[in-house]
Structure 1
Amino acid sequence: MQTVDSVEACEIEVQKHPGLVVLYGGKDCQVCHALKPKLQAAVTEQFPRMQMRYLDCHQPGAMCAQSGVMSLPTVQIYFNGQKSFEAVRTFSVASVLAAIERPYKLLFD
């Protein structure tokens, strides 16, 4: 999972990739650190054409509030530049995978 350093860089990634998962986290967010490898492994295994990016909201200049991110962790899923799903604070990897499944099949199969 590549790290992006600003919301602007994240917006460029959203436009560049037809399928994108963005995880917003923070250096002090233990749930984020536990979730990141599990989410990455599951998405990579089940949806190999999806791209993944990580944005550290505690990094200077990240300004996650511009993207509407007020709580961590937050996952946003984009297809063809449009946000199709957002999960905030309490969610499971399975719920994220379920949200990807149908749009992924329509786009890539």
Structure 2
Amino acid sequence: MTLEEVQNIIREEVGVLLYFSGERCSVCHALRPKFKELFDAEFPLIKQIYLDAHENPEISAHYQVFSVPTMLVFLDGREFVREGRAVSMYKLTEQLMRPYQMMTE
């Protein structure tokens, strides 16, 4: 996936989750299925994109991702949430629920 493709998706979709991980990152591998489960259940209209930060250095640099895991959520084309390492699924759900509902109703 190219930077241009990612930017187009962010412009076109209601919401986008960009999840940056690394092959050797055990935390990344532990969190990814939890994010997938949460977004599939609570935010199904948010497109999920998983990227290896080391294999996509141009995209990582553009979004200023310097450590993994890093999760960015874009709503209506703008960065809305940025979290790294320890992410509370409860807090994330609280942050996203109201704006998501407003955008999708």
Q: TM-score range by the shorter chain?
A: 0.7 to 0.9
Please give the root-mean-square deviation of Cα atoms over the aligned residues, in Å.
1.4
Is 2:42 the partner of 1:46? yes
CA displacement at 1:28 relative to structure 2: 1.1
Task: Give the TM-score, by structure 2 length.
Answer: 0.88
Q: Tell me if structure 2 keeps the 8 A contact 1:20–1:77.
A: yes
Question: Is 1:98–2:89 an aligned residue pair?
Answer: no
2:12 to 16, 19, 26: 16
Structure 2 unpaired stretches of 5+: none
- The one-letter code of the counterpart of 2:70 is T
In the superposition, the TM-score normalised over structure 1's length comes to 0.85
Indicate the SS of the match to 2:74: strand
- SS of corresponding position for 2:57: coil
Uncovered stretches (5+) of structure 1, i.e. residues with no partner: none
Q: Distance in 2 between matches of 1:85 and 1:73?
A: 14
Residue 86 of structure 1: how far off its partner (Å): 0.7
- Distance in 2, Cα, partners of 1:97 & 1:105: 12
Paired residue total:
104
